[in-house]
Structure 1
Amino acid sequence: MIGQIKQLYYKYEEVISYLFWGIMTTAVNVLIFSGLHIFTNMNYMINNFIAWVISVLFAYITNKAYVFHSPSKSFLSDLKEMTSFFGGRVATLVVEWILLWIGITLMHQNQILVKILENIVVIILNYFWSKWAVFKNSTNKNQPK
């Protein structure tokens, strides 16, 4: 039984790690967004952008190290990888803005609830971008160690 659980874990280790760090990234994003919403008078789009920049940097570091196990080969390769990572996140930032605008401006829903729901959509989109475009040459083996 324990062996089967370990096998399942190793088979889905990348997805499990991504979900864990995705939840942590979402927590960073939502906490910063919420803090700015509560303690400042800034527009929700500005709050979202600040939260986005900080959480994407957090996501890059955790995805590189703990999800896709992408080694640092050189400064140039890391810069290329980071540029691709942030580029994909810019695309999903546009999705975030659209979903926030629809949920908050058009539908007049709670800002924090809309923020959490749009993050679910963004996490899914970001996983596929990271797996297939950014960290496609990672060393994650998904096998028992």
Structure 2
Amino acid sequence: MNNLHTFFKNHRDFVSYTFFGFLASVINIVSFMVIKSTFHAHYMFANTLAWLISVVFGFFTNKSLVFKSEYSTGYALITELIAFFFFRGISLLADSAIMFICITGLNLSSFTAKVIDQILVGILNYATSRYTFSKDQREVAKRLRQRRIEHHQQKLAQKKQSQD
């Protein structure tokens, strides 16, 4: 029992991500199957909509519950949101390629393809989410904001001097 507690303590991010990543995958798979069967949508269209639904869920759970990234400013939130969607956009390309290969190339059922897809894409997403919400990444963004503010203040001071 002590070893299990130590494991969870040492790997909290990974364990939390695995839990919420599993929930996001379930949301993705269920959304995919519902969209595909209810609307008789092409599997790539259903896959893209399911991706969007699960990414929105994933952003807020990863930010708040997994990596405990605080809501400091609106700018910081937008920066994280853009980075998250950028990396998830890359994973959408991998997601779509896996679905295409599994369904069209290997002739697997859409459900089986989606499960395989979610396992492989989940690994990619963990690495990119960890980067997006890491303390180092937030520090870099904070330094960039500070430099932009200082640069803006210098321009204002120069403008004021030239007017005097």
Counterpart-to-counterpart distance in 2, 1:110 and 1:19: 25
Alignment of 1:1-145 (within 5 A): 2-132=1-131, 134-137=132-135
**Bigger shift: 99-108 or 50-59?**
99-108
Q: CA deviation at 1:4?
A: 3.3
Structure 2 counterpart SS, 1:71: coil
Question: Greater helix percent: which structure?
Answer: 2
Counterpart-to-counterpart distance in 1, 2:111 and 2:85: 24
Counterpart-to-counterpart distance in 1, 2:2 and 2:13: 18
Structure 2 counterpart SS, 1:121: helix
Counterpart-to-counterpart distance in 1, 2:38 and 2:117: 22
Q: Equivalent residue for 1:142?
A: none
Counterpart-to-counterpart distance in 2, 1:11 and 1:45: 39
Counterpart-to-counterpart distance in 2, 1:37 and 1:97: 15
Question: TM-score, normalising length from structure 2?
Answer: 0.80
Specify the structure having the higher radius of gyration (Cα).
2
Counterpart-to-counterpart distance in 2, 1:44 and 1:8: 39
Question: Per-residue displacement from partner, 1:35-75 (whole Å, max 9, x unpaired)?
Answer: 11221121111101110111000000000111100001100
Question: TM-score, normalising length from structure 1?
Answer: 0.90
Structure 2 counterpart SS, 1:42: coil
Question: Per-residue displacement from partner, 1:11-53 (whole Å, max 9, x unpaired)?
Answer: 1111100000000000000000011122112111110111011
Superposed CA RMSD in Å reads 1.1
Q: CA deviation at 1:9?
A: 1.2
Please list every run of 5 or more consecutive structure 1 residues that lacks an aligned counterpart in the other structure.
Answer: 139-145
Aligned residue-pair number: 136
Please list every run of 5 or more consecutive structure 2 residues that lacks an aligned counterpart in the other structure.
Answer: 137-164
Percent identical residues: 28
Counterpart-to-counterpart distance in 2, 1:109 and 1:130: 29
Amino acid at match of 2:101: I
Amino acid at match of 2:78: L
Q: CA deviation at 1:79?
A: 0.3
Counterpart-to-counterpart distance in 1, 2:59 and 2:7: 26
